[in-house]
Amino acid sequence: MLKDKNIILGVTGGIAAYKCVDLVSRLRKQGANVHVILTKGAQNFVTETAMREISGNPVVTSMWQEIQQYDVEHIALARLADVVLVAPATANVIAKCACGMADDMLTTTLLATKAPVFFAPAMNTNMYENSITQQNLHTLQERGCHIIDPAAGHLACGTSGVGRMPEPQELVEILVDFFATGKELAEPDEADSRQHLAEELDFSGLNILVTAAGTREPIDPVRYIGNRSSGKMGYAIAEAARDLGANVTLISGPSALTPLAGVNFFKVESARDMRRLVLENFPESQIVIKAAAVADYRVKNVADHKIKKNDEELTLVLEKNPDILKELGQKKQKGQVLVGFAAETQNLIQYAQSKLEKKNLDMIVANDVSKPQAGFNVDTNLIKLLKRDGSIEELPLMSKKDLAYIILNHVMKIYRQHN
Ligand code: PMT
């Protein structure tokens, strides 16, 4: 997928810069032409020589150096790029780009390019979570840049938390996926729907309850049963609803995503924790959208201490968890709108239809999780919207962020019919 693609890799001054030697090597193995720009800070962590040898191309370290291979003008790389990846992206470069500064070769290239841009933020957790950095990332995202979530783990500053640059292989996979799915993504006019719908939709004064991510059911103090839900779908809906003026309550299972600013945010672990908070918030909510992947079963006898391994088989007895959505369907009052998701790998319409009826929903988002780039832990999704009047709206593979607006558009239509 990366064969003959011109990838501009902007390396900035963070300790994770050392991983870029491996990153460039992996990109080249995929057939990409990699052109590296090292900021001044990055040169403290990785050398121009190493990057030149590994990329096979001249490395740009300054606005003013002579580079024989490119056109002389300083935006040549911006034009050449099929994609620009900034990895690691420091808080500093993110801030500069968010306000349109162009004071070195990397920021100049970023301002001048029309190619897709990916940022892989890597920094100390407090710097990453600082509302200024979050606002800057939000600004870049709003302008169409792709932000790659940092991983959690041990950081160079001696602390643990979110802020690690993802491993080079993961970054390569993100670019491969991008080029693989880019053509299948909705046409620009469909993708533009976010902007278009945002202008028409107004959720001011409405309380929307959204659930996201998967629950974890403990086995013992250190182990659990979980699933692959990242929270991306639910967070996208909560974020869109917030941006459209709603008062949003987001109840999330464990997720690596950053809690959204400007929403009432609750983090839960198990299905029963989620049920308690959902039921507490339900009476005040005009609209509920349940994107969470709730565990259907939990371990019957959770061990008080870590289960010790021996040579015997281990049997866990599971008991059923409460079906939160079904309970909401029973409690639903006139005027309230209840939307569920159905994650299916077969008989999509049939199973989703049955959940729509059994759980007394107004709409169900039938999610075909058997298809590539759809469902769990990816940025895109493939869904069909089923309503009580029997209508089915089929949508193409689209980003979860765009789908969030389309789902909310349908929700608003139902809400208006009921109120
Ligand atoms: O988080 P991402 O990585 O972005 O992935 C998104 C997603 C695939 C998780 C999402 O798009 C999705 O399909 N969510 C629903 C997953 C699911 O649990 O589906 P289900 O068919 O098992 O459940 C049907 C509905 O009942 C869901 O709305 C679920 O929240 C709800 N439910 C299920 C079981 C239960 N005990 N209580 C519930 O409320």
Pocket test for ligand 1, best of 272, 273, 294 (most atoms within 8 A of CB): 294
Strands 224-225 and 217-218: antiparallel
Q: Six-digit token pair at 321?
A: 């968890």
Judge if 212 and 164 occupy the same domain: no
One-letter amino acid of 339: V
- Residue of 211, 192, 209 whose CA lies nearest to 200: 192
| Cα 347 to ligand 1 centre (Å) | 16
In whole angstroms, what is the distance from residue 319 CA to residue 296 CA?
A: 9
* CA of residue 111 relative to chain centroid, distance: 24
296 lines ligand 1 (CB under 6 A): yes
Query: Number of C-alpha atoms within 13 angstroms, CB side, residue 115?
Result: 26
| Cα 342 to ligand 1 centre (Å) | 6
Judge if 86 and 171 occupy the same domain: yes
Reading the chain (419 residues) residue by residue, the pLDDT tens digits are 798 999 999 999 999 999 999 999 999 999 999 999 999 999 999 999 999 999 999 999 987 766 555 554 567 899 899 999 999 999 999 999 999 999 999 999 999 999 999 999 999 989 999 999 999 999 998 888 999 988 876 777 777 677 889 999 989 989 988 887 654 344 445 555 666 777 778 899 999 999 999 999 999 999 999 999 999 999 999 999 999 999 999 999 999 988 888 999 999 999 999 999 999 999 999 999 999 999 999 999 999 999 999 999 999 999 999 999 999 999 999 999 999 999 999 999 999 999 999 999 999 999 999 988 899 998 889 999 999 999 999 998 888 988 999 999 999 999 999 99
342 lines ligand 1 (CB under 6 A): yes
**What's the structural domain count of the chain?**
2
376 lines ligand 1 (CB under 6 A): yes
- Residue 105 resides in a domain: yes
Question: Residue 407 sits in which domain range?
Answer: 194-418
Q: Six-digit token pair at 147?
A: 């932000």
**Res 74: pLDDT:** 64
Judge if 168 and 37 occupy the same domain: yes
Judge if 233 and 178 occupy the same domain: no
325 lines ligand 1 (CB under 6 A): yes
**Res 71: pLDDT:** 52
Judge if 200 and 167 occupy the same domain: no
In whole angstroms, what is the distance from residue 127 CA to residue 114 CA?
A: 29
**Res 72: pLDDT:** 44
Judge if 114 and 224 occupy the same domain: no
- Residue 1 resides in a domain: no
142's enclosing H/E stretch is helix 131-142
Pocket test for ligand 1, best of 239, 290, 296 (most atoms within 8 A of CB): 290
**Res 184: pLDDT:** 39
Residue whose CA is closest, atom 26 of ligand 1?
A: 325
Residue whose CA is closest, atom 36 of ligand 1?
A: 323
Q: What is the CATH number of the domain that holds 209?
A: 3.40.50.10300
Atom of ligand 1 nearest to the CA of 367: 13
Among the residues of 215-270, which ranges form H helices?
232-243
270 lines ligand 1 (CB under 6 A): no
Query: Number of C-alpha atoms within 13 angstroms, CB side, residue 248?
Result: 29
Q: How far are the Cα atoms of 17, 96, 237 from residue 378, in angstroms, in the given order?
A: 25, 28, 15
* CA of residue 401 relative to chain centroid, distance: 9
Judge if 169 and 200 occupy the same domain: no
Q: Six-digit token pair at 83?
A: 């994609």
Place of tokens 């299948």: 184
Place of tokens 């089915």: 392
Tell me how crowded residue 53 is: count the other CB atoms within 10 A of its CB.
Answer: 12
| Cα 94 to ligand 1 centre (Å) | 34
Which residues form the catalytic set?
Answer: 157
Judge if 342 and 299 occupy the same domain: yes
**Res 22: pLDDT:** 95
Judge if 205 and 173 occupy the same domain: no
**Res 197: pLDDT:** 74
One-letter amino acid of 348: L
**Res 68: pLDDT:** 53
| Cα 392 to ligand 1 centre (Å) | 19
Q: At what angle do helices 168-182 and 20-29 cross, to 10 degrees?
A: 40
367 lines ligand 1 (CB under 6 A): yes
Judge if 44 and 156 occupy the same domain: yes
**Res 155: pLDDT:** 73
231 lines ligand 1 (CB under 6 A): yes
One-letter amino acid of 18: Y
- Residue 189 resides in a domain: no
Residue whose CA is closest, atom 31 of ligand 1?
A: 325
**Res 329: pLDDT:** 98
**Res 151: pLDDT:** 83
* 166 Cβ neighbours under 8 A, 6+ residues apart: 120, 148, 149, 150, 151, 174
One-letter amino acid of 385: L
Judge if 87 and 116 occupy the same domain: yes
- Residue 215 resides in a domain: yes
One-letter amino acid of 164: R
> Is the dihedral angle over the CA atoms 201, 204, 210, 213 positive or is it negative?
positive
